Amino acid sequence: MDTQAPADGSTPRRKLFIRTWGCQMNVYDSGRMADVLAPLGYGPAETPEEADMVILNTCHIREKASEKVFSDLGRLRQMKEAKAEAGQKMVLAVAGCVAQAEGREITNRAPWVDIVLGPQTYHRLPEMVARAARAAGAQIDTDFPVEQKFDLLPQPRADQGPIAFLTIQEGCDKFCSFCVVPYTRGAEFSRPVAAIVAEAKRLVAGGAREIALLGQNVNAWHGEAPDGSTWSLSRLLYELAELEGLERLRYTTSHPRDMDAALIRAHGRIPQLMPFLHLPVQSGSDRVLAAMNRGHTADLFYRIADQLREARPDMALSSDFIVGHPGEKAEDHAATMALVEKVGFALAYSFKYSARPGTPAAGQPFQVSEAEKDARLQDLQTLLRQQQDEFNRACVGRECDILFTGPGRHPGQMAGRSPWLQPVHVTGPAELAGRSARVKIAAAFPNSLSATLLDMPPLLALKELTPA
């Protein structure tokens, strides 16, 4: 990923490479680690081979996450040893949720790692780099500090492009049976209104036209306002929609338990709030949802979906599903398939259940066989893929505004995002980057759409009419 040049504008003295796995929260965290290290002279490296420091920002959600990290660390060991033979040094750090969950195990299995830090401590990264340079042995910091890291971080970069991410909430108090997030990210914490609005203003001033608000349970956000009152997410969205130059708003990831009536109404009343919501349901079976400790029923999810579409008729939904949770039976899987059929999803992510050490489900009886999980996953993914294709095809002929992010894959092509988060490409000038333009969807492909421009942004149209 890209990192930032030193704050004083000088040429970077050192090279930094960050490899990021997982969610947009981790992408945001990687950017902030680059911000923290920029004053130390770290600038971007294109590859780990050329880097003076490599950070693996890890995710513990996916299957075999830890083994993938150790596999990468094995390759990095060879690079680090080659640099040492050449009289150079590579600082190697492991950050993120795998670091939080398995800090000491990492240094036991990979003693060539210099730094291990959890998601709540990356504001301490410069101090850990200094300690690693002075002392032998790995520096490990996986505490949940009393001080809030956001108060100790430098201002984030404002040059992220037309689409920017802004973390407003961290941690989780839900304790789903399959999930490690409460143990790796800690308790729910909501940033105050003033800090969020100030960061959003900086992002817009730096060229952002769309801001996605991030949180493990983003719709559980309840931040302190300047007058001492507590705002809900819906109130914050109304406030951010007033920012001049901000065209689009999104938020992810949400929990059905925290979708209140005011937030649902906001989708019909805030034009900047895009008609696309990621709302994980995990299962369509009430029995499995109870075993997962989700705290909601399938019927609640049905009602939320109906209310969202009533508030915003063009609303599209995406979701997460887990098949093969301990104790899941054939009839439970059938209930999940029925939910998918009834609700309909524009996009979805589905996974086989895999045990996470320390989580309640890992020790539960009646584990589902791998063969059965494979069959159920294939069954579910076939239906979800069909629905995604149908949604994309239904967009053909529709007119909508596209926010263009940059060049496409082919010469003369520009790419952007639809209101429903689909990648869209058109034939158009490079000056479209960072701007919105009206298009008509011409064709649907498995993972993208093509379109034709209906009009040009005013400044570009004027430029085309101005004689050279």
Residues flagged as binding site: 23, 59, 97, 172, 176, 179
Return the sign of the alpha-carbon dihedral for residues 168, 173, 174, 177: positive
d(C-alpha 231, C-alpha 223), whole Å:
5
- Hey, is 451 helix, strand or coil? strand
Q: Which two tokens stand for residue 456?
A: 């040009």
Prior bond to 3 cis, omega within 30? no
How far does CA 423 lie from the centroid of its chain?
Answer: 16
Return the sign of the alpha-carbon dihedral for residues 6, 8, 9, 13: negative
Q: Which two tokens stand for residue 170?
A: 């961290």
Q: At what angle do helices 125-134 and 24-37 cross, to 10 degrees?
A: 60
d(C-alpha 230, C-alpha 192), whole Å:
9
d(C-alpha 133, C-alpha 268), whole Å:
54
Binding-site annotation, residues for [4Fe-4S] cluster = 23, 59, 97, 172, 176, 179
CA distances from 224 to 47, 52, 229, 259, 389 (A): 42, 40, 6, 19, 42
Do 246 and 402 meet the contact criterion of CB atoms below 8 Å apart?
A: no
End-to-end CA gap in the chain: 38
Q: Could you count the other beta carbons within 10 Å of the beta carbon of residue 466?
A: 7
